[in-house]
Structure 1
Amino acid sequence: MKRWTMELLLLIVVVIWGTNYTIGKYGVIEITPVEFTAIRMIIAAPFLLLIAMALERSIHIKRKDVFHLIIVSMVGVTLYQSFSMLTIKYISATNASLLISISPIFTMIFSLFFKQEKFSKQKLIGSVIAFTGTILILLVHDPSSNQKNVMIGTIIGILTSMSWGLYPILATPLVNKYSALRVIAWSTMIGAIPLVLLTGSSIVFIPFHLNQTSWLALLYAIFFVTIFGLVTWYVGVQKIGATNTMVYMFLTPFTAVLFAAIWAKEHIYIQQVVGGIIIFIGLWLVKHQRKTRVNEHDYDSNIL
């Protein structure tokens, strides 16, 4: 595959992930975020495992790593995916995308806590700058929004960012031993199990009661966001490297904001734009210096 073809596919993935902040809202109108995520993951998981098997000729995980994989799955799929859909449900696509974009800051904080990285002034300055931009966004007052929902969504959005920030720290030992695609394929399957249990037997009947719009949002999340997006992303990491691939992640919030403004007619406040720019400056300072093993695989993206 030629480099320009791979980069075009990565650009398509970023557009898909960005637009999902708006499209996903249609999926949680009739059903809860947990139900939506349970159906999405339980359908996507077998496809991801089959693709991993086809590309790598094996999906084997050693018995001694199973418990570690379960922990990774609970954080990266059960918690993160459920929190992200709750965030999308309660707050604007603009704020949701910008809040979740600060996950690399939490990755840095957790990496310092687990002693995977050394402290540096540049990382501290970048973190402070990014959080300043986040505060600006959170202080935006939209008179058309339900303030109680906004507060709930904001809190969940921060928890979403924290869980996705913790995920690469926990997953790095497994990714070093196996591969990112194999780990995410198994994580999707294992992480879906608690969601299915929470949903109960009704998960079998839910799909038959969804309207066309909800079904389209669900199918979009399953086949484009999850299967096509994840596989293409990790192939991109293999083909052109993690650093070159991660550059595209900075376009995800931009795509989310632009699509929300055009499709959903979300009003974009100048404070959100300024806050977003400040966040990206902070993220650039943090990520520019990172040369640890976490950064080699660097998949702390805004995957939904």
Structure 2
Amino acid sequence: MKDLKVIITLVLVMFTWGINVSALKYLVTYFDPITITSLRIMVAASSVFIILFVLKKIRLPRNKEWLYILGGATTNVVLHHFFLAEGLSKTSAANGGLILGLGPLLTATLSVLILRERVTFVRSLGFLFGGIGVGVIVLAGSGTIGKISFGDIEIFLSIASQALSFILIKKASQTMDAKLLTGYMFLFGSMILFIVSLVKEPGGLDRLNSGTPSIWAIFFFSALLATAVGHMMYNSAIEKIGAARSSIFLNLNTFFSLIAASLFLGETIYLAHYIGLALIVAGVLFGSGSLEAIIRNRNKHFPPVG
């Protein structure tokens, strides 16, 4: 299978991102969330450009590419990471990981709205299942129905902005290497986040002095592996197999983040988490068009008799 390498890469990226949810939860608990996020992405941007320099793939953007870079930096870096850091400081890593699992469904929805893809009955069911799944998590994720966390809403805004960025990345990758696009988005996005942190968290830099070696080890794991390498590989997958198809693998992020939250942070996994996860997976299967593709493929190889 010619896409096997891309599939294996995406599974490894989702494994890293799933663990990274717990890592981010730990970092934003120890440091001011926006300050540590801006620095993490700055380190990631530097790492990306070092890799691209070695690969001799650095060049200045041309014409329309600047618009995609700024749009991607705003949605994929500033809004996504701002709301992710803020949300994880107010809700659990388990809740955050599950809500992030709505990414494929949101990407499919934006593909319909922006790219004018046709909405079928099956996809409509997917949107419904996904919405109910997130509702179950937000309302019952703390173990008690009706206790809504504003952090859950911020996590949802985080994944919604990232889903929009996937559409921009796909368009931009037609003329620019996805890895180079990632570097520029991180560079400009981290600069904006850093300015925001100076205003919102004036004492954020001073608190960095309290970091321990283990804390900084977690920081560099998140910055170098999860953020720099992970996003380069994921954006390259979008370039090769498309935004909607790549986004399907975000469900593995949800699974791995649940496991990591339980193992590393000792968070309790409630029944509502499993119900919400099942509904989101069903929503993605229906809403992304995967189920229809499976049915078409089955009919192609096993045509009806008679």
Indicate the TM-score class for this superposition, using the shorter chain for normalisation. 0.7 to 0.9
CA contact (8 A) 1:181 1:231 kept: yes
Aligned counterparts of 1:238 and 1:112: Cα–Cα separation in 2: 19
TM-score, normalised to structure 1, is 0.81
Other structure's SS at 1:189 match: helix
CA contact (8 A) 1:53 1:59 kept: no
State the one-letter code of the partner of 1:68.
Y
Aligned counterparts of 2:258 and 2:165: Cα–Cα separation in 1: 25
TM-superposed CA distance for 1:29, in Å, is 2.2
Matched, 1:227 2:225: no
Write the deviation string for residues 205-247 of structure 1: whole angstroms up to 9, x where unpaired.
55434233432331121112112322344566678x5688656
Residue 152 (structure 1) aligns with: 150
TM-score, normalised to structure 2, is 0.81
Other structure's SS at 1:142 match: coil
CA contact (8 A) 2:141 2:270 kept: no
CA contact (8 A) 1:73 1:191 kept: yes
Residue 168 (structure 1) aligns with: 166
Aligned counterparts of 1:65 and 1:10: Cα–Cα separation in 2: 25
Other structure's SS at 1:139 match: helix
Write the deviation string for residues 153-180 of structure 1: whole angstroms up to 9, x where unpaired.
0110121121112112233321222122
State the one-letter code of the partner of 2:182.
I
State the one-letter code of the partner of 2:251.
F
CA contact (8 A) 2:71 2:165 kept: no
Residue 86 (structure 1) aligns with: 86
CA contact (8 A) 2:18 2:253 kept: yes
Distance 1:100 1:34, change over 3 A: same
TM-superposed CA distance for 1:257, in Å, is 0.8
Residue 270 (structure 1) aligns with: 271
Flag structure 1 segments of 5+ consecutive residues without an equivalent: 292-304
Q: Number of residues paired by the alignment?
A: 286
Aligned counterparts of 1:165 and 1:236: Cα–Cα separation in 2: 15
CA contact (8 A) 1:25 1:88 kept: yes
Aligned counterparts of 2:269 and 2:291: Cα–Cα separation in 1: 32
Farther off after superposition, 280-289 or 210-219: 210-219
Matched, 1:256 2:257: yes
Other structure's SS at 1:259 match: helix
Let me know the Cα RMSD of the aligned residues: 3.1
TM-superposed CA distance for 1:73, in Å, is 0.7
Matched, 1:142 2:136: no
TM-superposed CA distance for 1:111, in Å, is 3.0
Aligned counterparts of 2:141 and 2:122: Cα–Cα separation in 1: 32
Residue 217 (structure 1) aligns with: 218
Aligned counterparts of 1:175 and 1:260: Cα–Cα separation in 2: 34
Distance 1:87 1:281, change over 3 A: same
Other structure's SS at 2:133 match: helix
Aligned counterparts of 2:95 and 2:222: Cα–Cα separation in 1: 20
Aligned counterparts of 2:248 and 2:143: Cα–Cα separation in 1: 35
CA contact (8 A) 1:73 1:187 kept: yes
Matched, 1:192 2:190: yes
Residue 300 (structure 1) aligns with: none
Q: Between the two proteins, what is the percent identity of the paired residues?
A: 19
CA contact (8 A) 1:52 1:59 kept: no
CA contact (8 A) 1:27 1:215 kept: no
Farther off after superposition, 268-277 or 50-59: 50-59
Write the deviation string for residues 78-120 of structure 1: whole angstroms up to 9, x where unpaired.
1101111222221111111111111232223333333442332
Aligned counterparts of 2:158 and 2:51: Cα–Cα separation in 1: 27
TM-superposed CA distance for 1:69, in Å, is 1.8
TM-superposed CA distance for 1:248, in Å, is 4.1
TM-superposed CA distance for 1:63, in Å, is 3.5
Pick from 179, 182, 187 the counterpart of residue 180 of structure 2: 182
Other structure's SS at 2:108 match: helix
Flag structure 2 segments of 5+ consecutive residues without an equivalent: 293-306
